[in-house]
């Protein structure tokens, strides 16, 4: 696979940082609008909404002065947690709910919901259950299957796991997730 295909694959499998950047920009924008509004109200001789800009500046310059230690610690912790969340979001790779399928001629990406629908069909066939009796959830490194067997008919979970692993290998899903099957203790009336 060429470098161009690798770049396309990575771009389609990872998420951008736009939502976090937009959130931070909106917070800054709202703060600036508030400061502008308070300044305009002062210039027009009106009462401030919360406090006049002079009050904010005098309070900020007097810190840590007369404020309580618990309040300072709480504000400091909130700012620190917000900063750590933004830092972690910026440093780690985001991931979209998609998997790549091996393809020599190009890049083939499948949504996890589409993959889950195909795996649910195969799980129902292997378990011998009807629609609505198999729930499949696809994660980055695992596939979780919840089966509700028909009353009186046992389900061989090893057979279901083998069938789903075969389906994943046949579709050339990369990376190959592990399959976990959970069979409900109580059966349902067959459909």
> Are 56 and 128 contained in the same domain?
no
pLDDT for 190 beyond 70 = no
pLDDT of residue 59: 77
Three-class DSSP category at 80 = helix
Q: Which domain holds residue 122?
A: 106-183
Q: Is residue 67 one of the residues assigned to a domain?
A: yes
> Are 136 and 170 contained in the same domain?
yes
**Which of residues 91, 119, 150 is at a domain's end?**
91
> Are 118 and 87 contained in the same domain?
no
Average pLDDT of the segment spanning 153-177? 89
Alpha-carbon span 109 to 107, nearest angstrom:
6
Sequence-separated (6 or more) residues with CB below 8 Å from residue 163: 122, 123, 125, 126
pLDDT of residue 137: 92
Q: Which of these ranges, 13-27, 34-48, 116-130, 131-145, has the smallest mean pLDDT? A: 13-27
- Structural domains in the chain (count): 2
Q: Is residue 96 one of the residues assigned to a domain?
A: no
The percentage of residues in the chain with a pLDDT greater than 90, rounded to a whole number, is 24
Give per-residue pLDDT as tens, 18-68.
777 788 889 999 989 998 998 888 888 888 888 877 887 887 777 777 668
Q: What is the mean pLDDT of the chain?
A: 84
CB atoms within 10 A of CB 107: 18
b/e burial code for range 46-64 (CB count within 10 A of at least 16 → b): eeeeeeeeeeeeeeeeeee
The CA–CA distances, whole Å, from 6 to 18, 59, 72 equal 22, 54, 48
> Are 169 and 113 contained in the same domain?
yes
Q: Is residue 127 one of the residues assigned to a domain?
A: yes
Residue bearing the bigger pLDDT, 148 or 54:
148
Three-class DSSP category at 48 = coil
Q: Which of these ranges, 16-25, 124-133, 158-167, has the smallest mean pLDDT? A: 16-25
Give per-residue pLDDT as tens, 76-97.
899 999 888 888 877 777 777 7
> Are 85 and 127 contained in the same domain?
no
Single out the residue of 141, 146, 143 nearest to residue 115, CA to CA: 143
Going across the sheet that includes 134-138, the strands are 134-138, 142-147, 178-183
The percentage of residues in the chain with a pLDDT greater than 70, rounded to a whole number, is 95
> Are 74 and 121 contained in the same domain?
no
For residue 150, what are the β-bridge partners?
188
Confidence of residue 181 (pLDDT cuts 50, 70, 90): very high
């Amino acid at each position: 696979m060429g470098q161009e295909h690798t770049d396309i694959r990575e771009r389609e499998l990872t998420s951008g940082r736009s939502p976090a950047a937009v959130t931070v920009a909106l917070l800054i924008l709202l703060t600036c609008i508030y400061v502008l509004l308070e300044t305009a109200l002062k210039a027009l001789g009106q009462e401030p909404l919360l406090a006049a800009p002079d009050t904010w500046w005098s309070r900020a310059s007097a810190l840590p002065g007369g404020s309580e230690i618990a309040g300072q610690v709480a504000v400091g912790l909130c700012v620190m947690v917000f900063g750590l969340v933004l830092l972690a979001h910026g440093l780690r790779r985001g991931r979209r709910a998609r998997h790549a399928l091996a393809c020599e001629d190009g890049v083939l990406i499948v949504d996890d919901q589409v993959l889950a629908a195909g795996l649910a069909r195969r799980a129902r066939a292997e378990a011998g259950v009807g629609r609505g009796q198999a729930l499949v959830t696809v994660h980055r490194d695992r596939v979780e299957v919840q089966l509700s067997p028909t009353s009186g008919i046992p389900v061989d979970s090893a057979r279901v796991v083998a069938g789903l692993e075969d389906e994943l290998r046949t579709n050339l899903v990369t990376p190959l997730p592990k399959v976990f099957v959970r069979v409900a203790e109580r059966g349902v009336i067959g459909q």
